Structure 1
Amino acid sequence: MSLSEPVRHQAPRLVVRSQVVDDVSAHLLDHLPAEGGLAWVRRGDGHVGWGVAARLDVAGGNRFQDAMRWWQELTSAAVVRDDVGVPGSGLVCFGSFGFTDQDPSILVVPEIIVGRRAGTTWVTTVSPASSLAAAPELVTHKPSPVYDVTFADGARTGTDWSSIVAEAVRRITGGELDKVVLARDLIAIAAQPIDLRWPLHRLATSYPNCWTFSVDGLIGATPELLVRREKGLITSRVLAGTIRRTGDDAHDLALAASLARSSKDLEEHEYAVRSVADALEPHCKSMNVPETPFVLHLPNVMHLATDVAGVANNGASALGLAAALHPSAAICGTPTPVARDLIGEIEGMQRGRFSGPVGWMDAAGDGEWCIALRCGQADPENPRRMRLFAGAGIVAGSNPDAELAETNAKLVPMRDALGD
Structure 2
Amino acid sequence: MTSPLDDRERAASSHPEPLVVRTVPLDAPDDLLSLLPEDAPLTWVRRGDGLVGWGEAARVEVGGASRFADAERWWQGVVGHAVVRDEVGLPGTGPVAFGSFAFDSRSAAGGVLVVPRVVVGRRDGHAWLTVVETAGTLGAAPDWSLVARHVAGLTPVRAPGPVAYASGAVEAEDWPAVVARGVAAIRSGELDKVVLARDEVATTAEPLDVRHALRRLADRYPTTWTFSVDGLIGATPELLVRSDKGLVTSRVLAGTIRRTGDDDADLARAAILAHSSKDLEEHEYAVASVARALAPYCSSTNVPDAPFVLHLPNVLHLASDVTAVLGGGDAEGGPHPTSLALAAALHPTAAVCGTPTEAARDLIRSIEGMDRARYAGPVGWVGADGDGEWGIALRSAELDPDDPRRLRLFAGCGIVAASDPAAELAESRAKLVPMRTALASD
Q: TM-score range by the shorter chain?
A: over 0.9
1:83 alignment partner in structure 2: 87
Offset at residue 25 of structure 1 (A): 4.1
- Summarize deviations over 1:337-390 as a string: whole Å, max 9, x none: 000000000000000000000000110011000000000011111101110000
Q: 1:233 aligns with which of 239, 242, 247?
A: 247
CA distance in 2, matches of 1:102, 1:185: 18
Q: Is the 8 A contact 2:2 2:69 kept in 1?
A: no
Quote the offset at 1:155 in angstroms: 0.6
Matched, 1:297 2:297: no
Alignment-mate amino acid for residue 321 of structure 1: L
Which amino acid is 1:366 matched to?
A: D
Q: Secondary structure at the match of 2:137?
A: coil
Kindly indicate whether residue 181 of structure 2 is the aligned counterpart of residue 167 of structure 1: yes
Range moving further from structure 2, 52-61 or 142-151 = 142-151
The count of residues paired between Structure 1 and Structure 2 equals: 417
How far apart, in 1, do the equivalents of 2:358 and 2:352 lie? 12
Structure 1 residue matching 2:405: 3-state secondary structure: strand
Q: For each residue in 1:18-77, what CA deviation from the matched residue of structure 2 results, as whole angstroms up to 9, or x when unmatched?
A: 00122x641101111110110000000001001100000000111111111111111110
CA contact (8 A) 2:242 2:389 kept: yes
User: Aligned residue for 1:29?
Assistant: 33
**Percent identity of the aligned residues?**
60
Any unmatched runs of 5+ in structure 1?
none
Matched residues in 2 for 1:69 and 1:130: separation?
A: 25
Matched letter for residue 260 of structure 1: A
Matching of residues 276-355 of structure 1 within 5 Å: 276-313=290-327, 314=329, 315-355=336-376
Aligned residue in 1 for 2:411 = 390
Distance in 2, matches of 1:11 and 1:69, equals: 13
Matching residue within 421, 426, 440 for 1:400? 421
Distance between the aligned counterparts of 1:116 and 1:311, measured in 2?
25
Structure-to-structure mapping, 1:207-222, within 5 angstroms: 207-222=221-236
Say whether residues 1:409 and 2:414 are aligned partners: no
Aligned counterparts of 2:135 and 2:391: Cα–Cα separation in 1:
32
1:112 equivalent to 2:133? Answer no
Does residue 1:176 correspond to 2:190, yes or no? yes
> C-alpha offsets along residues 374-420 of structure 1, whole Å, 9 cap, x if unaligned?
00011111101110000000000000000000000000000011011
Q: 1:230 to 1:152 in 2, by over 3 A?
A: same
Q: CA deviation at 1:157?
A: 1.1
Query: Aligned to 1:65, which of 69, 72, 76?
Result: 69
Given that 2:3 and 2:70 are in contact with CA atoms closer than 8 Å, whether structure 1 keeps it comes out as no
Separation (CA, whole Å) in 1 of partners of 2:139 and 2:197 = 44
Does residue 15 of structure 1 match 2:29?
no
SS of the equivalent of 2:114 reads: strand
- Look up the match of 2:333: none
| Letter of the structure 1 residue corresponding to residue 119 of structure 2 | I
Q: Using the alignment, how far apart are the partners of 1:280 and 1:324 within structure 2?
A: 8
Q: Deviation above 4 Å: which 4+ runs of structure 1? A: none
1:49 to 53, 67, 71: 53
**Once the 2 structures are TM-superposed, how far is the Cα of residue 11 of structure 1 from its aligned partner?**
5.7
Structure 1 residue 133, shift from structure 2 partner: 3.6
Retained in 2: the 8 A contact 1:11–1:70?
no
State the Cα distance separating 1:153 from its structure 2 match: 0.5
Counterpart-to-counterpart distance in 1, 2:96 and 2:275: 42
Pair 1:378-2:379 in alignment:
no
Which of 132, 148, 162 is 1:126 aligned to? 132
Give me the TM-score of the superposition, normalised by structure 1. 0.97
Q: Which amino acid aligns with 1:252?
A: D
Equivalent in the alignment of 2:217: 203
SS across alignment from 1:147: coil
Which of 255, 268, 280 is residue 282 of structure 2 equivalent to? 268
CA contact (8 A) 1:228 1:318 kept: yes
CA distance in structure 2 between the aligned counterparts of 1:133 and 1:228, rounded to whole angstroms: 33
Runs (5+) with no aligned partner, structure 2: 330-335
Counterpart-to-counterpart distance in 2, 1:162 and 1:257: 27
CA contact (8 A) 1:68 1:320 kept: yes
Could you give the per-residue CA deviations for residues 138-186 of structure 1, whole angstroms, max 9, x where no partner exists? 3434311121111110011112111000011011100000000001001
Deviation at 1:102, TM superposition (A): 2.7
What is the alpha-carbon distance in structure 2 between the residues aligned to residue 300 and residue 16 of structure 1? 41
| TM-superposed deviation, 1:129 | 2.9
Q: Distance in 2 between matches of 1:348 and 1:215?
A: 25
CA contact (8 A) 2:91 2:244 kept: yes
Q: Secondary structure at the match of 1:237?
A: strand
Q: How many angstroms apart in 1 are the aligned matches of 2:394 and 2:386?
A: 23
Q: In the aligned structure 1, how far is the partner of 2:159 from the partner of 2:205? A: 11
Corresponding letter in the other structure for 1:118: D
| Superposed counterparts of 1:250-265, under 5 Å | 250-265=264-279
Q: Give 2:383's aligned amino acid.
A: D
SS at match of 2:136: coil
* Rounded Cα–Cα distance in structure 1 between residues aligned with 2:362 and 2:300: 33
Distance 2:100 2:139 in 1: 26
Match of 2:388 in 1: 367
CA 1:106–1:192: 2 relative to 1, 3 Å: same
Q: Which amino acid aligns with 1:229?
A: S
Partner Cα separation in structure 2 for residue 237 and residue 190 of structure 1? 33
